[in-house]
């Protein structure tokens, strides 16, 4: 598993009350442009994601914007409304002959972390209820879960384990989905139909 550099509290964005719904998906050995194509996105240039930029992005009504950040051998799909990475069928398909790691949180409070390798979900769980794991090898990440503060044996007292779950993603990929990556930086962007909030 790739090492992830410790750089302090990188994940402020995930605990921001304004962050209602999101999905971060790391896909190995696929370019940003190819990943945008794989999600069926209409290309809209490079952008960061804030209110100022949203006013000038040429969305059709009902569309949601997403971006892809290149990070070494990984491309990172960043979504706030569409949740394509939460689609299990899509995740299995995109992971054929590669690895994909996804973490999403919905407006209704549902969270799920998934690791897919070569077209198969290896392990998948809700961080706060991590004892209830599914996949072809549910215990595959147990040691890593404990290392970042996710209890694999029971339920957590925390309502939202966003920072710990992003640390788990970083342990697996070496990618830190920091506030700078997710919110501030400009990345290749596209638009797909908006997913209804749960």
pLDDT digits (tens, 9 = 90+) for 133-143: 999 999 999 99
The pLDDT score that the predictor gives to residue 158 is 56
- CA–CA distance, 192 with 198 (Å, rounded to integer): 18
Instruction: Give pTM, 2 decimals.
Output: 0.88
Nearest to 176 by CA among 14, 9, 10: 10
Q: What is the pLDDT of residue 56?
A: 41
Nearest-angstrom CA–CA distance, 190 and 146 = 36
Mean confidence (pLDDT) of the chain:
86
pLDDT < 70: residue spans in the chain: 1-9, 49-62, 155-160, 195-198
Task: With CA atoms as reference, report the closest residue to 127 among 103, 100, 94.
Answer: 103
pLDDT at site 61: 59
Q: Which pLDDT score is estimated for 163?
A: 93
Q: Among 59, 63, 44, which residue's Cα sits nearest to residue 186?
A: 44
The pLDDT of residue 24 = 97
């Amino acid at each position: 598993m790739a090492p992830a550099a410790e750089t302090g509290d990188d994940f402020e964005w995930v605990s921001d009350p304004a962050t209602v719904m999101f999905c971060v998906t790391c896909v190995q050995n696929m370019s940003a442009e190819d990943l945008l194509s794989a999600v069926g996105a209409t290309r809209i240039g490079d952008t960061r994601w804030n209110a100022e930029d949203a006013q000038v992005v040429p969305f059709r009504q009902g569309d949601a914007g997403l971006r892809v950040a290149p990070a070494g051998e990984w491309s990172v799909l960043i979504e706030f409304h569409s949740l394509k990475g939460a689609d299990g069928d899509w995740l299995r398909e995109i992971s054929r002959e590669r690895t994909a790691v996804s973490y999403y949180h919905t407006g209704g409070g549902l969270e799920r972390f998934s690791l897919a390798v070569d077209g198969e979900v290896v392990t998948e769980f809700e961080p706060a209820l991590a004892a209830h794991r599914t996949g072809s090898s549910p215990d595959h990440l147990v040691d890593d879960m404990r290392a970042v503060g996710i209890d694999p044996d029971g339920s957590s007292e925390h309502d939202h384990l966003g920072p710990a779950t992003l640390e788990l993603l970083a342990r697996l990929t070496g990618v830190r989905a920091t506030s700078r990556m997710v919110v501030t930086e400009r990345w290749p962007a596209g638009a797909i139909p908006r997913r209804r909030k749960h």
